[in-house]
Chains A and B, each alone.
Chain A
Amino acid sequence: MATVEKQRQRKYRVLGTRPVRHDGVDKVTGRARYGADTHLPGMLYAAMLRSPHAHARIVSIDTSAAEAMPGVHAVVTREDFPDVSNRIVELGEGAVNLGHLSQNVMARNKVLYKGHAVAAVAADSIHIAREAAQRIRVEYEILPPVLDVLEAMSDDAPVLNEDVRTEEFGGGTGDRPTNVAKHFHYEKGDVEAGFARAAVIVEREFRTATVHQGYIEPHAATALWNPDGHVTIWTCTQGSFTARQQTAELLGLPVSRVRVIPTEIGGGFGGKISVYLEPVAALLAKKSGRPVKLVMDRSEVLEGTGPTPGSYIRVKMGADRDGRITAAEAYLAYEAGAFPGSPINPGCMCIFACYDVPNGRIDGYDVCVNKPRTNAYRAPGATNAAFAAETVIDEICEQLGMDPLEFRLKNAAVEGTRRIDGVTYSRIGMKETVEAILNSEHYRSELKGPNRGRGVASGFWFNVGLKSTVVATVNPDGTVSLVEGSTDIGGTRTSVAMQLAETLGIAAEDVQPLVADTDSVGYTDVTGGSRVTFSTGIAAIEAAKDIQRQMCERAALIWDCPVDQVRYEDGRVVGPDGQAFTFKELAALVPSTGEPIVGRGTSGKANQGGAFATEVVDVEVDPDTGKVQILRFTVAQDAGCAVHPSYVEGQMQGGVVQGIGWALNEEYIYDDQGRMLNNTFLDYRIPTCYDVPMIDTIIVEVPDPNHPYGVRGVGEVPIVPPPAAIANAIYRAVGVRMDRLPMSPPRVLEKILQSRAAAPAQ
C-alpha cells in the first residue's frame, strides 16, 4: 500500500516537497568520507587490547613485548590518562561523571565488562598493531561478575564501583557502596483509591534483554597531535562539540586545543555520543608523533560500546467498567552496565505517558551490572517500558471486551494532561495517531488464516530542543551556503536547508548545506533526541530572517529609501513605488553594493512538545517452531509538519524495523562468566530485508506550537510500540502472552507447549 498522507493545505512552498538530498550524490557514488575513510600522510594504525573477563582487578600490565615488536610506535595504558575522577559535567544529553567516562575509555584498577579497553597500540599496519596488542601481558585477579539486574540490587551482590552510593530522588544519598546508583520516584493522585475503584486490575512482570543500536559503521577516530599542543580529531560522531568536550576533559586540555572534524556518520541511534576511541587515538598520536587511526571491528562495537539496557519491569494497572484507567503503578530496574547512567528516568517518565492516568506511582532504579556501560538507543528507555505497559493494557482490553484502540482513544493524553512525573502537555497528537490507525485500511481489513493475529500499541517520546548554530551566506548567483554544526545521519542537511529555503522563499536546491567542524561553526548539540530538524531548523529560520533583514537594508540603500518602507515577502524584497527585487536579483547586486550578507541563527530556548506513534501489526506464528513472521505493519506518527515526507517515512520505517528486531531476535547472550557469546552480526541478529514486509506509514500532522512551522522530531518514537504490538498480535494468533524480550522462537514455542499442556485434552 502506498503511503497515506493527511490532506494538508499547501501553505508552504518548500516544506512537504521531496527534493533529492544535497549529500545524495556523494553517498551513492562512494565518495562520501566516513569515519574509517580518513587517511593522512604518515598515518599509523592502532588496535585495542580488551578485557577477556567481565569483572577483575588489574594487578599489572606489561607492555614491553609489544613495544619491542618491529613496526610498533606507541602503546598507551591507564598510566597515560590523567585523573579526572568525580567531576560531573553536562554533555548535551545529560550529566556525565568524568571519572567513570575516563575509566570506561581506559580501565584503571578494575575491568568491569568483557571488552573493557585495557591498552592500545599504534603501529605501521593494522596487522602489526593487533599482533602487538596480543603480546601485552595483563595479570588479572578475577572477581565474580553480576549480570542480572535484580541480583545486582541484592545486598550480597558483588559491587562494581566502590564510589557509587544510591542517590534518592529529591535528595539523600546512601551510605555504603552499592550497584543501585539512583532511585527515581514519581507519584500522582491517590493510587490505592484508584485501584479500589477499578473493575479490572492486571499486574504482570516483564524482562527485556540488552540490545545494541547496530549501526553498520563501526566507531572510528583519527587523531593528530601537533607539537604546539593542538589536537585534531576526525571522527564519526553524533555531536562534534560533545566529542570535543569529552576528549578535552579526559585529556585535561582546554576545549580550544581540540578541534573535532566530523566525518560522515554511518548510523548512530544514540550510540555515537559517548567517546570511546578519540582520547585513546589522541594519546597514541601524542606519544608516536604521528597521526593515528583507531577503528573498531564489529565485536568491539558490540562488546566495547554502549548498548541499551536489559530491564526488569512490573506494571499494575486498573480500569473501570467503561474502560477508563483508574490507577497505574510501575517498578522499573534498568541495567546501567558498568557505570551508572541508564535511561531509567526517561523510562519512568514514558511508561504511562500516552495516557491520562489520574492516580499513578512509578519507581525506577539505575543498576550497575558487569556489562558494557549502556547508552542511548532511539527513544532510550521508552521501548522497554512500552512493552510492559502496552501489553498490560491489551490484557485489560481483553478482560473488558473492548477494542484496544477504543481504549486508547478513551484514555489518550491530550493538551493539558498532566503526566505522573508532573509535566503538563502542550498540544500533542496522541489521539490523532490512534484515530489514524482506527481509520486505516489495514485496521479495517479482515485478517484471515490460522495462527494469525493482529496487535496494536502506542508509544511516546519527549524529543529535545537544545542548542544549534547556523550561518548562511548569500552568494551572488542567488544561492545560499548554509553552515551548520549538526552531523547528518539521515538527511538533516536537507531538512534544515528546506526550512531556510522556505523562509527565504527560494528553492531547496538553491541552498548548499555544509556540516562544519568545531572551529568553523558555533556551538551545536548532538544529533540526537530527534532534535536536528526541530532545533537546527529553528536556527536556520533565524539565519534566514537575519538575511531577510540585511537584504531589506541593502535594497533600501539601493532605492535610497527608509528601510521601514522595505519588506521581505514571498522570496522578494519589495519597496515603495512598486519597486521589487527577486532574491536572485538582489543577491547579484550584493557584491557591488556593500559588505557581504551573512545570516546568523541560533536556537536553544525552545523545547519540543513530544511525539506519539500508534502502530498495528499482523503476524503469523508457526505453532510448531514458535517462529513469528511479520505479515503487515502500519505506523501512524505525529510529525507536526513533515518537512521532507520521504525522510519522515524513512525514520518511521527504520524505527519500526529496529523495533521488530528488538521484539523478535536481538539480544546479548552471555555465559555465566559474563562473556558475550554472540558478538558478531551472524548471531546478533538484526533484521534483514527478507525478514520484514513493506512498512506502511501514515504521517499525522498536529503542529508543535514550539516551532515556527510546527515541526516535531520524528526520529525516535517509531521504535517504541513494535515489541508490544507484536506481543499483542502473538496473543491473538496463538493465545500466549509473551512477557520477555526477545520473543524468539524457543521462547514462543515454550509458551505454546505450556499452554497446550495446560489445556484440557481435546
Chain B
Amino acid sequence: MHDFDYVAPTTLDEAIAALAKHDGQARCLAGGTDLIDQMRTGRRRPALVVDVKKIPELNALVVSDDGLRLGAAVPCSDVYRNEGVAQDYAALADAARIIGGIQIQNRASIGGNVCNSSPAADSVPALIALQAVCVIAGPNGPREVPIERFFTGPGGNVLEAGELLVELRMPPRPPRSGSHYRRFIPRNEMDIAVVGVGASVQLEDDGRTVAAARIGLGAVAPTPLLAEEAARVLVGRSVDDEAALSDAAEAARAVIRPIDDMRGTKAFRSHVTGVLVQRVVRAAAARARGESLDYCPGH
C-alpha cells in the first residue's frame, strides 16, 4: 500500500478541517471495506485517511416519529439488527444484510456504500425507495441532497472537497406501506449486484390497490436510478394485476442504460430488471399487508 497519513477526529469541525486542508487528497474511512482494498490495489492513493468513526453525528441511529436518522458510519450489522429499521425500513435492512459477508457487514456502513458511489451499491435502490436524503457537512456549511441526485457517475458524487456525508435521513413511513430490496447475483451471496431493485409500496385500505410507490434501480445505469414511471403506472391498480406489474417492468426497462461487462450483458440486465421489479413490488406489497416474506437471500 502507498504511504499515507491517518487522523481520527472526534468532531465534525475537525474532520471538515482535515478534509479541506488536503483539498481532494483526503479520503474518509468508515468501515474501510472499499477504501482499504482500493488503496491496496492502487486505485485510490489519498495522502490522508480521515477515520470518521469517532464523530458522534456519524454514529446516530434513531427511528422516531420524524423518521429514520442513520449516521454515515453506522455499520450494516447495526442497521439490520435495529428493530425499528427491520420493521419500518425493511428494504434498507434487506440491503444491509447482503452487503458482503458478516465480516464485511460488521464494518461496512451504508454511508460508505453511498459515498463509494458504485452504480451497483446495494443500499442505494433501497434508499431511493425509502426517499432518503443525504445530509452533507462542509466548509461552506450543511446541505441536503436527495439520494437519487447524489451520484454523478460510476464512483462519482456531488461531494465537494472538504465535504462529508453526515447522515441519511428518511421520512416516517406511511400507513399500509412496505418495502423490499432484492438483487440478482450469480451465487447466492458475496457477489456484486448484476441488477438491484428496491421498492416501497403503499396500499389503499383494500390491501390490494397501490396508493403510492417508489422504485429504485441499481447496476443498470452509470448511477442508481429512481424509476418514476415504473412506480407511477402501478398507482391505482391492484398488485395482483399481472398487467400492472408487467407495465411497471416495461417502464423500468425503458429507463435503464445498462452496459455489457463481466457481471452481465445489456440484454440480461434488461430482462432481469423487469423480472425483479415484479418480484420486489409483490414482496413490498405483501409486507405492506403485514405479511412476513418467504424470502431467502440469493434465491
Contacts and interface: CB of A to CB of B under 8 A. Distances in A.
A542 B189 CA distance: 49
A7 interface: no
A678 B187 CA distance: 15
A665 B186 contact: yes
A746 interface: yes
- Top 10 nearest A-B pairs (CB, nearest first) are A746-B268, A669-B262, A677-B262, A624-B275, A690-B189, A690-B188, A665-B186, A691-B188, A691-B187, A685-B187
A685 B265 contact: no
Given A664-B186, A690-B189, 18 more contacts: A134-B42, A625-B272, A627-B184, A629-B188, A629-B299, A677-B261, A677-B262, A683-B191, A683-B192, A683-B262, A685-B187, A685-B191, A688-B190, A691-B188, A691-B189, A745-B268, A750-B268, A753-B271
Interface in A125-145: 127, 130-131, 134
Contacts of B189: 688, 690-691
Interface of A: 127, 130-131, 134, 299, 624-625, 627, 629, 664-665, 669, 677-678, 682-683, 685, 687-688, 690-691, 744-746, 749-750, 753
Contact of A683 (B1, B42, B263, B268): B263
Nearest to A628: B186
A738 to B, nearest CB: 15
B56 to A, nearest CB: 33
Contacts of B275: 624-625
A746 B264 contact: yes
A658 B27 CA distance: 40
Given A625-B275, A678-B262, A685-B187, A690 B3 contact: no
B298 interface: yes
Given A665-B187, A682-B192, A746-B268, A690 B262 contact: no
Contacts of B2: 127, 131
B280 to A, nearest CB: 13
A299 B41 CA distance: 10
A298 to B, nearest CB: 11
Interface residues of B, number: 24
Contacts of A678: 262
Interface of B: 1-3, 41-42, 184, 186-192, 261-265, 268, 271-272, 275, 298-299
B191 A682 contact: yes
Contacts of B299: 629
Contacts of A677: 261-262
Nearest to A681: B190
B116 to A, nearest CB: 14
12 contacts: A127-B2, A130-B1, A131-B2, A299-B41, A629-B299, A665-B186, A677-B261, A685-B191, A690-B298, A691-B298, A746-B264, A749-B268
A690 B298 CA distance: 9
A18 to B, nearest CB: 31
A65 to B, nearest CB: 16
A683 B3 CA distance: 28
B262 A688 contact: no
Nearest to A677: B262
B159 to A, nearest CB: 25
A688 B187 contact: yes
A685 B264 CA distance: 14
B111 to A, nearest CB: 21
Given A624-B275, A749-B271, A682 B190 contact: yes
Contacts of A627: 184, 186
A685 B186 contact: yes
Contacts of A629: 188, 299
Nearest to A678: B262
